[in-house]
Chain A
């Protein structure tokens, strides 16, 4: 059996003889591999961007709703029966290790008046921790403090939309607005948050201390009850433990027996993220599949050229067989030749694909990710293409009859 280095030497010599032809054949693989690498990089970049965006919205968020009321058999939906209390909020903050922060929310809607301007908007009674939980920024002024919550002071923060509608170009900080005829001092304005995925304006809201909302604006049947709370888990991995800890704690605090249903609902935002990421994955797959077609075409190009090469070199093959080359000696020679073509093409393709991805990343502002896996995949794939499309020509060459091959002109 001939050794692989010797075969490689023969193959390289044969490829050098037809430089133009070898380069053009390689070009097919170069384009195919570059396309696969670039498409996978762009696809995974898009995936990364989607999940980054969701993460910035607070992917570690858990929402705990009060239980639903049923009125004559019609269930009224989550939060209609306030079963959660401010004490529950404190208990969760204190006793659930997977929880980073909690903000209780008691909300409603009302007309806000400043001077001769008025605006109907959502009023969210909450706690200062809501800012950290949602990673919201205060654009002007300052936020209200735990003291404001403790003493139910009449202060508020405005969403950007509300501030624009009521104050226009004026600076709202320090001004007095009226909500349900109660005067509130504006402490600050939040930075612009834009719309949610469902199109709601996240800036069309006024934030007040939750205790103020409960006492002055939207009274509750039992004092100190809240509609829902937002909980931030310490990390994405802590989401499931946090949900479990909250559920266990609340069942215990609410004295719910083992076969009774919860009087609250715990939800998180990971599902939304999973759907979006799945979509990005499908897109990556689609792009990769389209790019793979060009790799396939490149492979067929290799096969085509190898078949021509076998025919052209019939006499050479005849000589080799006559002096003792066995079936696999001949096969190996042509397979290695095809693999050499596809691997050189593949390496160039990886380089071009990577360079292209970096350029796209710069211009399209996408976080392009060229993963080592996709490079290994492309390398392995192009070797595979060489073996697959080289095999038939090699097989054909190895079965030549030496007597006829030696007479071939």
Chain B
């Protein structure tokens, strides 16, 4: 397989094995795929299918047992802990099912958090955070603490944090899992808008088919392998 120019994520023969005592489990078994810049990809699969392991490796939170992972042409599969932290900081924004916001911390500071670790000046941090809050529609809530916000607002705050540092990819892991249908739809609209307007690559893990349907590409996992990879035109 060749690196073609627009491939943002390219994994080859990616394998991740966990050893449990004497037996070892292949959470990912020689996966190969590439995701282009600007794509909106959904990943589905039952629990234990390897989709979370795949997300962790693609999100640079974990490293593969074997195989390679090129992110924007750079092999990140063998990087050290702090080098991975730097990659996550610059290129990846995370959105989690449980929001994972810092409690007792104002919204604006939650959004500034990634920039706290890369030496951005206080002024620039504030500007970028305000801009991100404006994009998600929370610019009237900058001093609110997460526990003063509704679930949907909390998830929008988490999205603001994910985009504040202008990442290449947003990795969203069951982002609507804790939300009702109406709020879920709002969040998905926001993702679609970000993907369309800012050309941020979206990788979304979900087990809900109607959420997955927002994506233009759907990858299904089962038992550590990709069983289907299809593109559609529903948006």
A residues neighboring B (CB under 8 Å)? 1-3, 6, 13, 17, 315-316, 318-327, 329, 402-403, 406
A322 touches B117 (CB 8 A): no
Q: Say if the beta carbon of B230 comes within 8 Å of chain A.
A: no
CA separation between A95 and B222, bound complex, in Å? 109
CA separation between A323 and B170, bound complex, in Å? 12
With A324-B90, A324-B118 already in contact, 17 other A-B pairs whose C-beta atoms are closer than 8 Å = A3-B119, A13-B105, A316-B103, A319-B102, A319-B113, A320-B117, A322-B100, A323-B113, A324-B86, A324-B88, A324-B89, A324-B114, A326-B85, A329-B117, A402-B61, A403-B62, A406-B96
A326 touches B82 (CB 8 A): yes
CB of A10 to closest CB in B, whole Å: 9
Q: Give me 27 A-to-B residue pairs in the complex whose CB atoms sit less than 8 angstroms apart, sorted by A's number.
A: A1-B117, A1-B119, A2-B116, A2-B117, A13-B105, A17-B104, A315-B100, A316-B102, A318-B100, A319-B100, A319-B102, A322-B61, A322-B94, A322-B100, A323-B161, A324-B85, A324-B89, A324-B114, A324-B117, A325-B85, A325-B117, A326-B81, A327-B85, A329-B117, A403-B56, A403-B61, A403-B62
Give 8 closest A-B pairs by Cβ, nearest first: A324-B89, A323-B114, A326-B82, A324-B117, A326-B85, A325-B117, A319-B100, A324-B85
A326 touches B117 (CB 8 A): yes
CA separation between A316 and B86, bound complex, in Å? 18
CA separation between A320 and B118, bound complex, in Å? 12
CA separation between A327 and B80, bound complex, in Å? 11
Contacts of A329 in B (CB 8 A): 117
CB closest chain-A residue, reference B80: A327
CA separation between A17 and B113, bound complex, in Å? 19
- Per-residue CB contact flags for chain B residues 45-63 toward chain A (1 = under 8 Å, else 0) read 0000000000010000110
CB of B96 to closest CB in A, whole Å: 7
CB closest chain-A residue, reference B53: A403
Contacts of B90 in A (CB 8 A): 324
B100 touches A6 (CB 8 A): no
Given the interface contacts A322-B94, A327-B82, A403-B62, does A6 sit within 8 Å of B88 by beta carbon? no
CA separation between A319 and B102, bound complex, in Å? 8
CB of A409 to closest CB in B, whole Å: 9
Given the interface contacts A13-B105, A406-B96, does A326 sit within 8 Å of B86 by beta carbon? yes
> Which among A1, A320, A327, A402 is the interface contact of B113 at CB below 8 angstroms?
A320
Contacts of A322 in B (CB 8 A): 61, 88, 94, 100
Contacts of A406 in B (CB 8 A): 96, 100
The secondary-structure label for the interface of chain A is helix
CB of A300 to closest CB in B, whole Å: 28
- Per-residue CB contact flags for chain B residues 106-131 toward chain A (1 = under 8 Å, else 0) read 00000001101111000000000000
Contacts of A315 in B (CB 8 A): 100
CB closest chain-A residue, reference B99: A319
CA separation between A320 and B115, bound complex, in Å? 11
Contacts of B161 in A (CB 8 A): 323
CA separation between A325 and B85, bound complex, in Å? 6
Which B residues from 65 to 93 make CB contacts under 8 A with A? Answer: 81-82, 85-86, 88-90
CB closest chain-B residue, reference A321: B85
CA separation between A327 and B103, bound complex, in Å? 22
Contacts of A323 in B (CB 8 A): 88-89, 94, 113-114, 117, 161
CB closest chain-A residue, reference B82: A326
CB closest chain-A residue, reference B119: A1
> Which among A6, A17, A319, A327 is the interface contact of B81 at CB below 8 angstroms?
A327
CA separation between A326 and B161, bound complex, in Å? 18
CB of A30 to closest CB in B, whole Å: 26
Contacts of B61 in A (CB 8 A): 322, 402-403
CA separation between A319 and B103, bound complex, in Å? 11
Contacts of A3 in B (CB 8 A): 119
Contacts of A326 in B (CB 8 A): 81-82, 85-86, 117
Contacts of B89 in A (CB 8 A): 323-324
CB of A394 to closest CB in B, whole Å: 15
Contacts of A6 in B (CB 8 A): 116
CB of B159 to closest CB in A, whole Å: 13
Contacts of B105 in A (CB 8 A): 13
Contacts of B104 in A (CB 8 A): 13, 17
CB closest chain-A residue, reference B86: A324
CA separation between A306 and B62, bound complex, in Å? 27
CB closest chain-A residue, reference B87: A324
CA separation between A13 and B106, bound complex, in Å? 11
Contacts of B113 in A (CB 8 A): 319-320, 323
CB closest chain-A residue, reference B118: A324
CA separation between A2 and B85, bound complex, in Å? 13
Contacts of A324 in B (CB 8 A): 85-86, 88-90, 114, 117-118
- Per-residue CB contact flags for chain B residues 181-216 toward chain A (1 = under 8 Å, else 0) read 000000000000000000000000000000000000
Contacts of B96 in A (CB 8 A): 406
CA separation between A17 and B103, bound complex, in Å? 10
CB of A1 to closest CB in B, whole Å: 7
Scoring B102, B117, B161 by chain A CB atoms within 10 A of each residue's CB, the highest score goes to: B117
CA separation between A315 and B100, bound complex, in Å? 8
CB closest chain-A residue, reference B56: A403
CB of A17 to closest CB in B, whole Å: 6
CA separation between A74 and B116, bound complex, in Å? 89
Contacts of A321 in B (CB 8 A): 85
CB closest chain-A residue, reference B125: A6
CB of B216 to closest CB in A, whole Å: 27
Contacts of A402 in B (CB 8 A): 61
CB of A327 to closest CB in B, whole Å: 6
CA separation between A402 and B55, bound complex, in Å? 13
CA separation between A327 and B100, bound complex, in Å? 20
Scoring B88, B89, B94, B116 by chain A CB atoms within 10 A of each residue's CB, the highest score goes to: B116
Contacts of B119 in A (CB 8 A): 1, 3
Contacts of B102 in A (CB 8 A): 316, 319
